[in-house]
Amino acid sequence: MKMAFISGLFALLGGFIGAWLTRKTEYQKWLRQQRSVEFSEFIKQLEDVRVKASDILYSSKPTDEEKDFQITELFIGLKPLENIVRLYPNKSDRETFSKLKHKIWSFYSPSIKKSVRMKKHKELLQGIQDLFEKNIKG
pLDDT: is 73 or 138 the higher one? Answer: 73
**Residue 18 covered by a domain:** no
When divided into structural domains, the chain yields a total of: 1
**Residue 9 covered by a domain:** no
**Residue 19 covered by a domain:** no
**Residue 87 covered by a domain:** yes
pTM: 0.77
- Give me the mean pLDDT over the 114-136 stretch: 93
- Mean pLDDT of all residues in the chain? 89
Determine contact, residues 67/56, Cβ cutoff 8 Å: yes
113 phi-psi bin (left φ>0, alpha ψ -120 to 50, beta other): beta
60-87: per-residue pLDDT in tens?
Answer: 888 999 999 999 999 999 999 999 999 9
**Residue 40 covered by a domain:** yes
Confidence (pLDDT) at 72: 95
Domain of residue 87, residue span = 36-136
Determine contact, residues 112/68, Cβ cutoff 8 Å: no
* Burial environment of residue 85 by CB neighbours within 10 A (0 to 12, 13 to 18, 19 or more): buried
Whether the pLDDT of residue 5 is over 90: the answer is: no
**Residue 7 covered by a domain:** no
Confidence (pLDDT) at 108: 93
Determine contact, residues 58/50, Cβ cutoff 8 Å: no
Report the distance separating Cα 68 and Cα 72, nearest Å: 6
**Residue 23 covered by a domain:** no
**Residue 31 covered by a domain:** no
